[in-house]
A and B are shown apart, each in its own frame.
Chain A
Amino acid sequence: MSSASNGHMTDRVDVALADVALGGAVKFTTDRLRGRKAEASEALGDWQEWREAGRSIRAHTVANLDYYVDQFTTNATAAGSTVHFASDGVEAVAAIRQIVREKAAKLVIKSKSMVTEEIHLNAAFEADGLECVETDLGEYILQLAKEPPSHIIVPCIHKRRSEIAALFSAEAGREIAQDTVSLTAFARQKLRETFIAADIGITGCNFALADTGSIVLFSNEGNGRMTTTLPKTHVVVMGMERLLPTFEDLDIFAKLLPRSATGQKITSYMTVLTGPRRDCEVDGPDDVHIVILDNGRSNQLGDPEFQEILNCIRCGACLNVCPVYRHVGGHAYGNVYPGPIGAVLAPLLRPDDPAAAELPYASSLCGACAEACPVKIPLHDMLVRLRARNVARGNGKPEEQIAFTGFAKLFGSASLYGPMMQLARLGQKLTVGNGRRPQWFMNLFGPAGAWAKGRDLPTSQGASFRERWAKRGGHRNGK
Chain B
Amino acid sequence: MRVALFVTCLVDQYFPKVAEAVVDLLAMKGVTVAFPARQTCCGQPAFNNGYTAEARTVGKTLVQAFDGFTHVVTPSGSCAGMIRHYYPELFAGTPDHEAATALAAKTYEFTEFVTHVLGDPDFGAIFPHRAVYHTGCHGARLLGLRDEPLELLAKVKELDLVPLPFAQDCCGFGGTFAVKFANLSVAMATEKARNVTETGANVLVGTDVGCLMNIGGVLRRQDSPIRVLHLAELLHEGTRR
Contacts and interface: CB of A to CB of B under 8 A. Distances in A.
Interface of A: 10, 13-14, 17, 321, 323-324, 326-328, 361-368, 370-371, 380, 384, 386-392, 396, 400-401, 404-405, 407-408, 411-414, 417, 421, 424-425, 434-436, 446-447, 450-451, 453-466, 468-470, 474, 476, 478-479
B11 A465 contact: yes
A368 B141 contact: yes
Given A323-B169, A408-B54, A411-B41, 13 more contacts: A324-B188, A364-B185, A364-B188, A365-B175, A380-B141, A421-B9, A421-B12, A450-B179, A457-B217, A461-B14, A465-B19, A478-B20, A478-B27
Q: Which applies to chain A's interface (DSSP): helix, strand, loop or mixed?
A: helix
A21 B172 CA distance: 21
B29 interface: no
Given A370-B141, A412-B57, A454 B221 contact: yes
Contacts of B218: 454-455
B51 interface: yes
Given A411-B40, A464-B16, A458 B49 contact: no
B54 A407 contact: yes
Nearest to B192: A323
Nearest to A459: B14
B35 A474 contact: yes
A443 B41 CA distance: 27
A415 to B, nearest CB: 9
A411 B61 contact: yes
B23 A414 contact: no
Contact of A371 (B141, B173, B182, B189): B141
B114 interface: no
Nearest to B50: A387
B25 to A, nearest CB: 10
A368 B170 contact: yes
14 contacts: A324-B184, A364-B173, A366-B174, A370-B141, A384-B50, A400-B51, A408-B46, A414-B61, A450-B178, A455-B214, A458-B15, A462-B16, A469-B37, A478-B27
Given A365-B48, A456-B221, A460-B13, A478 B24 contact: yes
A470 B11 contact: no
Nearest to B193: A455
Contacts of B54: 404-405, 407-408
A367 B138 contact: yes
A461 B61 CA distance: 25
B45 interface: yes
Contacts of A459: 14
A6 to B, nearest CB: 17
Interface string B52-63: 111001101100
Contacts of B38: 414
Contacts of B138: 366-367
B217 A458 contact: yes
Interface string B1-35: 00000010101111111011001100100000101
A466 B35 contact: yes
A421 B13 contact: yes
Interface residues of B, number: 73
Contact of B179 (A14, A389, A447): A447
Interface of B: 7, 9, 11-17, 19-20, 23-24, 27, 33, 35, 37-41, 43, 45-54, 57-58, 60-61, 65, 86, 137-138, 141-142, 168-170, 172-191, 213-214, 216-218, 220-221, 240
Q: In the complex, which of the residues B169, B170, B176, B191 has the most CB atoms of chain A within 10 Å of its own CB atom?
A: B170
A454 B190 contact: yes
B40 A414 contact: yes
B50 A434 contact: no
A425 B13 CA distance: 8
A282 B187 CA distance: 56
Given A407-B46, A425-B13, A461-B14, A364 B51 contact: no
Contacts of A370: 141
B173 to A, nearest CB: 7
B20 A411 contact: no
B43 A411 contact: yes
Nearest to B47: A384
A327 B187 contact: yes
B104 to A, nearest CB: 15
A435 B16 CA distance: 21
A13 B61 contact: no
Contact of B178 (A17, A384, A392, A451): A451
B37 to A, nearest CB: 6
A132 B191 CA distance: 42
Nearest to B184: A13
A59 to B, nearest CB: 19
B174 A364 contact: yes
B122 to A, nearest CB: 20
Contacts of A391: 49-52
Contact of B51 (A404, A413, A414, A447): A404
A377 to B, nearest CB: 14
Contacts of A447: 176, 179
Contacts of A461: 14-17
A465 B50 contact: no
B23 A411 contact: no
Nearest to A468: B16
B16 A361 contact: no
A364 B220 contact: no
A122 B178 CA distance: 38
A45 B142 CA distance: 23
Contacts of A464: 12-13, 16
B49 A468 contact: no
- Name the 4 nearest CB pairs between A and B, nearest first: A364-B174, A455-B217, A387-B50, A454-B186
B182 A366 contact: no
Nearest to B169: A323
A411 B65 CA distance: 13
Nearest to A361: B180
